[in-house]
Chain A
Amino acid sequence: MQDAAGAVVAFEHVTKRYAGAESPAVDDLTFTVRAGEICVLVGPSGSGKTTTMKMINRLIEPTGGRITIGGDDVMSLPAVELRRRIGYVIQQVGLFPHLTIGENVSVVPRLIGWKARRIAERVDELLDLVGLEPATFRERYPNELSGGERQRVGVARALAADPPVMLMDEPFGAVDPIRRDRLQNEFLRLQEKVRKTIVFVTHDVDEAIKMADRIAILARGGVLAQYDTPQAILASPASDFVERFVGADRGLKRLSLARVRDLTLIEPIVVHAGESASDVRRRLERTDEIGYALLLDEKERPLGWIDQHDLDGDGPIDPSAAVPGPTPVQAETTLRDALSVMLASSVQLGVVVDERDRVVGLISVDAISEALRTAPAT
């Protein structure tokens, strides 16, 4: 499906002026989203970021200028046909409650008249792609799914007809911070495979820094304040507005630029239920660094920390003595998010897991501060 990878989306002097409004909602926007990139539109309320995005699929029609997708003016097609060629993901997901997950995913292919067999294959392919077992989920209804699962179905539905462009309106805004991190990570992994051109709206600067290849910062009145890579925006804000908007903690924000995968992981001392306490004690004593062993379940998923001071006697270790660890992080998690979960935990080590929650290593606060010190100055 990579053959339909992203198309260039170009704004040329695009203006939106509502009848009766004193000033335009979007004012003379000119910028180009490169094919296959994630462009995050970010700005305070009233900056017209959602309006800007909705003009691409003509949910809102511009009053001036033009928008092109792959060189074609969006006004050259009937709005309904244009929208079927653009993926659309919204915050509340908007799954159709009366259709099964499979039917929800196949909505656009059905609108454009795909054959039943092709649709069925595509549904399974997409559910797989977003990490939902097709046999389990295909026949379920949306109200049987968790919020995170629904959001994944929303992404699968938007990808169904393989559109070159996807619009995402605060897609992870309604999930709690921990799940949001996971959904963001999953989405970034997915985007590496599908390489769509994505226009992504958020009000969260940290999310923008994490998700974007390029950020368009909009100021009140729909004026483009800066359009550049996250690194460039943090390093040299174009104006006082951008500097203020990005925040006084630009140094900390740089933590959002780096990922867990940029750090060298520490090898944990891992134990499983049933191992003997004396054995674990000996292994811990050999390394004087950590003082904790990481207890794993039979699928190598982390259960918690075993303090070496709790390891008495020679019998098997007591799994109930494990101290719950911090929420695991993933390779794509930003150092900022990783730091925040580590600081919230009594054992200040981050547990890094893969997509299947298997432990791959540890990170320490020291390693993060080291990475910050050696990163190029901003």
Chain B
Amino acid sequence: MNEGQPFIRWDWIIDNLDQIGRRLGEHVYMTLLAISIGFAISFALAMLIRSRPGLYGPIIGFSGILYAIPSVALFALLVPFTGLSVLSAEIALVSYTLVILIRNIVTGLEGVPPDVIEAAVGMGYTPSQRLWRVELPIALPVIVAGLRIATVTTIGLVTITTLIGAGGLGYLIVNTGIRRFFDTSTYTGVVLSVALAIAADLLLLALQRRLTPWARARAEA
């Protein structure tokens, strides 16, 4: 805290709306990219586990180790290979989503009741019709729950990627904030980051509710 400086300098915020908007945009972009790629990889690995259940242990084990590496350390490890870049940031961000997403996709599919699967097979669903029309829709609430956790986690992690020059709201927190002892910028970054995480979480929740009206229907008779 600097003496004599107001808690929030609104004039700075107004003067820098452009930059704040740009950083917010970068943050959203990096989050979306990480979640999309992470989901694609996780989905593919979950399908692999579905056909070869023995791979569940090794895959979850490996992605669990990735998840356990401290984020700052992982960035530092990547920089010699991929430089101070969005690429380094994304590799790390994607790595962190895997264990959450794979586990939720697999758990969601495993939660499909066996009688439902037996009925689907017995009525003549092909394996892919069964997956897309029966198993995945039923697993959707668990899969979306994983997406919500992964998204909120990623939005938090993206703030750190500014350390390797990837921008985002972390730039406001660290580069123009902490490093220059300018609290207004730090607060702006923190508040926007938290608001973004909450908004994304609520958006995904609303999406899930919309897609799974059946999960709310309860016997009232």
Contact = CB atoms under 8 A, between A and B. Distances in A.
Interface in B132-164: 134, 137-138, 140
Which one of B115, B134, B212 has the greatest number of beta carbons of chain A within 10 Å?
B115
Contacts of A100: 214
Contact of A144 (B123, B126, B137, B217): B217
Interface string B192-221: 000000000000000000001111011111
A145 B122 contact: no
A97 B125 contact: no
Contact of A111 (B121, B124, B138): B124
Contact of B125 (A80, A93, A95, A143): A80
Contacts of B118: 59, 90, 94
A244 interface: no
B1 interface: no
Interface stretch (A8-16, A35-43, A81-89, A175-183): A81-89
B152 to A, nearest CB: 26
Nearest to B138: A98
B149 to A, nearest CB: 22
Interface in B99-128: 113, 115-126
B124 A94 contact: no
Contacts of B214: 97-100, 141-143
A57 interface: yes
B129 interface: yes
B119 A90 contact: yes
Interface of B: 113, 115-126, 129, 134, 137-138, 140, 212-215, 217-221
8 contacts: A59-B121, A83-B121, A83-B124, A84-B124, A90-B119, A92-B113, A98-B215, A143-B219
Given A84-B123, A94-B118, A111-B123, 18 more contacts: A81-B124, A83-B123, A90-B115, A91-B115, A92-B115, A94-B120, A96-B119, A96-B138, A97-B214, A98-B137, A99-B214, A111-B129, A142-B214, A143-B218, A144-B219, A144-B220, A146-B219, A146-B221
Interface of A: 57, 59, 80-84, 88, 90-100, 107-108, 111, 140-146, 157, 167
* Top 10 A-B pairs, shortest CB-CB distance: A94-B119, A92-B115, A84-B124, A83-B124, A88-B122, A94-B115, A141-B217, A141-B214, A98-B137, A98-B214
